Amino acid sequence: MVERNNIAWAAFAVVCIVWGTTYLAIRIALETLPPFLLTGARFTTAGLLLLAVCWWRGERPPRRASDLMHIAGIGFSMVAIGNFAVVWAEKFIPSGLAALMVAASPFWMVLMEMFREKEQRLTAQHATGLLVGFAGVTILVLPHLQGSSFNLPFILGILVIQAGSIGWNFGSLRSKYHAGTTTPLVSAGLQMLFGGVIVDIVGLALGEATRFHFNTRSLAALVYLTLFGSFLAYTAYVYALAHLPTSTVSLYAYVNPAIAVVAGWLIAGEEMGWRTIIAAAVIFCGVALVRKSEG
């Protein structure tokens, strides 16, 4: 049990570090790759790789159609909705700001937990944390709503990320509390495969195949996203989720934005002004209040 717990904490550390760098990798990959097939190729490949490893380890997929449909639903929520939303939004907003918007993800997790556990109520501290977090998001978004500075694509990007966060957290809760009859690794592989195939089908239907081409930067970014962002980190996330409290695992949202903002600033020259720093601090304070109220 102790060894499994240590592995779970190591998996959590991988999620915190690696996913913080994937926002910049997504932005680089989007230089030549269309969003649907970028997401689909990444997760389909990673899912197949992980399932091959599981097969070698003697772990088999569930045979019941109901279990497979359940896992497919989780993959749809987390990959086809949650992850794709971030990829699409990064066409219009910097990678660091996209990560800060995802930092609001624990708010949605708390609200969903309340609906799942009917006896849990929205406390004053919960409400305060949610309002503080919303204020942080407002600090970032407000300049893009004013007069001649109104930026509709930016606003749409923010809204799509929040919709994606809802899908991601819904899938996370389903994965946590309705694991089914398979192992976490097999479940992760099937989730990525099902979710990736769904996004691939949409991308092909939209004609993205004609725009799917590489340069050195986008190929390197896709390989990194597939092997590290998906194969390694997504697997680590599902494993950590299966062995650690949901509220603990969702704290990766503290670390990812800090890494993403700094990476975008250092490597891609994204702006990191006082507004971004203040907004990040306010959002993190809101998340901290929400989490403290749960403890």
Give the domain extent around 234.
2-294
211: Cβ contacts below 8 Å, ≥ 6 apart: 33, 34
26-45: pLDDT as tens digits: 999 999 999 999 999 999 99
Domain count, the chain: 1
64-91: pLDDT as tens digits: 888 889 999 999 999 999 999 999 999 9
242-280: pLDDT as tens digits: 888 776 777 777 677 778 877 787 787 776 677 777 777
The one-letter code for the residue type at 3 is E
Contact (CB, 8 A) for 175 and 241: yes
Model pTM?
0.81
Comparing 256 with 145, the larger pLDDT belongs to 256
272: left (phi over 0), alpha (psi -120 to 50) or beta: beta
